[in-house]
Amino acid sequence: MTTLRDIGEDALIARLVSLVPQDGQPAAGPGDDCAVIDPGPGHDTLQLLKTDALVGRVHFLPDTPARAVGWKAAARVVSDFAAMGGKPERFLVTVVLCAETELIWVEDLYRGIGDCLRTFGAVLAGGETSSVPPGCVPVISIAATGSVRRQHLVLRSTAKAGHTLLVTGTLGGSGLTKHLHFTPRIRETSWLVTHFKPSAMMDLSDGLARDLPRLATASGCGFVLDESGLPLSPGCDIARALRDGEDFEMLFTLEPDRVAALLTAWPGVFPELPLTVIGRMVEAGAGDMLTGGWDHFRE
């Protein structure tokens, strides 16, 4: 019998998606950081939909402070809205916990979610609680709506050969503390889509080695990566920058003739956050190959 470990995460998703009816608009279905719902040509605002889950002993440990788990659970979703050029609006929070869980743990979890929602101007719209049998890990599943102005929408599937690849921040080493306390790059993407709109963008959740090929494949491109030029987090080497995952930085592409102006303007707006050219998009079938990064069913 074939198991999920045999097939891996990306192939699994492709198979599952084919079994369920989908919207006629490609951007409205699975495949990007968020689903994009277009209410029609007369509307300037598109709706974004996203769901994400945090699982005990996978995304956090039993002794991780619950307030940090709550922040992380909500901030991961905010990061996905940022990756589309949008912003978060309404959250639905599902917690699946065993009955012996301490009340204070769950309250702190919600305080962390609340911290994140207040920081980014979002609200709780609903939720669900369910029990799991004793010994099972907690699961926090968050779905949310967001919005994006039509002219600011950035997909991951619209990079072109010749475009320059850039990344915010530094990569690798998130597992120590950053994965719990990261700031979704929504200020940065909000500025980018207004001043230097990327041709494609996604957030880095599973490591550049896994996420960059996803962006390239979605765009029908290849890529050339300057590994020696990657912005490394303190104490990290190139291998970790490629494969640690949970960076929650923005990976994006830009027409090459706009890159110099962006690199000049950026430090004046975001003096504390590096912005680095890490390569370029090329024709499909050409360029580099990358493997590794996080696969939920193969770790």
CB 273 → its own copies: shortest distance, Å? 27
Which residue has 């709506």 as its token pair? 145
Are residues 65 and 19 in contact, defined by beta-carbon separation less than 8 angstroms? no
CB 268 → its own copies: shortest distance, Å? 32
| Residue 135 binding its own copies, by CB under 8 A | yes
Q: At what angle do helices 186-195 and 66-83 cross, to 10 degrees?
A: 10
- Can you tell me whether residue 187 is helix, strand or coil? helix
| Residue 82 binding its own copies, by CB under 8 A | no
| Residue 61 binding its own copies, by CB under 8 A | no
| Residue 277 binding its own copies, by CB under 8 A | no
Are residues 108 and 215 in contact, defined by beta-carbon separation less than 8 angstroms? no
Among 14, 26, 129, 239, binds its own copies (CB under 8 A): 129
Of 24-32, 176-184, 238-246, 247-255, which part binds its own copies (CB under 8 A)?
A: 24-32
| Residue 4 binding its own copies, by CB under 8 A | yes
CB 61 → its own copies: shortest distance, Å? 12
Residue number, 45 or 194, with CB nearest to its own copies: 45
Q: How far apart are CA 266 and CA 263, in angstroms?
A: 5
Residue number, 104 or 289, with CB nearest to its own copies: 104
Are residues 174 and 294 in contact, defined by beta-carbon separation less than 8 angstroms? no
Among 75, 93, 201, 209, binds its own copies (CB under 8 A): 93
CB proximity list for 20: less than 8 A, separation 6 or greater: none
Are residues 223 and 216 in contact, defined by beta-carbon separation less than 8 angstroms? yes
- Can you tell me whether residue 79 is helix, strand or coil? helix
| Residue 131 binding its own copies, by CB under 8 A | yes
| Residue 128 binding its own copies, by CB under 8 A | yes
